[in-house]
Amino acid sequence: MSVTTLNNDYKEIITSRRSVRVYDPSVKISREEMTEILEEATLAPSSVNLQPWRFLVVDSPEGKATLEELAPGNKTQVSTSSAVIAVFGDMNAFDNADEIMGTAVERGYLPQEIKDQMMANYTDLFGRIPAQAFREMILIDSGLVSMQFMLAARARGYDTNPIGGYDKSRIAEAFGMEKERYVPVMLISVGKAAKEARLTTRLPIDRIAEWK
């Protein structure tokens, strides 16, 4: 595939993405394909590669019923979508640092001595960083993976919409997750649009960017 073709495909994915609120309820994304989309999403960058994002894939009638009660203003999206992905940030994400770096060593991506030094440095850093600062960091990282999920889904012909209107204070406990550990980021509905989404406009670049 040529670079030009790749660039055109990428541009099509970016420009064709819409925020869809009504889906075709007959379209179901298999768990195998959803896993592939999530794997592609997790190629997104994160601070020191901690990968602090966690996903709750709500695709069962029971799960959707629980979510509808938590997101009453978005019931149509929840009920008609193939699934809704609840994205969380994990406040215990550093617990996986040794495993992540150890796997990099096993695969030849990282020398053992560099891994040991990095672990020592990061253990000191994250032992001192305030909880609020760590929370802000994992929210940014989880935002990156959320956008990548939407683009990965669009590349496969699916539509999405990020949702912020839900009860963030209750969602973790409602699905049996530790409230203090898992920080809610957003919901992402995903499926096939049942009707064309409304077009939106963007501010011109000369209003929002400057060069120095």
| pLDDT 10s digits, 39-49 | 999 999 999 99
pLDDT at 14: 87
3-state SS class at 108: coil
Dig out the tokens for 135 from the structure: 């929370």
pLDDT at 7: 57
Is the pLDDT at 168 greater than 50, yes or no?
A: yes
Annotation: CATH topology of 20-90+137-192: NADH Oxidase (3.40.109)
- DSSP codes, 125-174: HHHHS-HHHHHHHHHHHHHHHHHHHHHHHHHTT-EEEEE--S-TTTHHHH
| pLDDT 10s digits, 102-153 | 999 999 999 999 999 999 999 999 999 999 999 999 999 999 999 999 999 9
| pLDDT 10s digits, 47-85 | 999 999 999 999 999 999 999 999 999 999 999 999 999
pLDDT at 198: 85
Average pLDDT over residues 154-183: 97
| Distance of alpha carbon 49 from alpha carbon 43, whole angstroms | 10
pLDDT at 112: 98
Rg, Å, the chain Cα set: 19
pLDDT at 165: 96
pLDDT at 8: 63
pLDDT at 199: 87
Is the pLDDT at 4 greater than 50, yes or no?
A: no
pLDDT at 10: 83
CA dihedral 141, 153, 20, 137 (to 10 degrees): 0
| Higher per-residue confidence, 20 vs 142 | 142
pLDDT at 6: 45
Dig out the tokens for 84 from the structure: 């809704």
> First CA to last CA across the chain, in angstroms?
37
**pTM of the predicted protein model:** 0.93
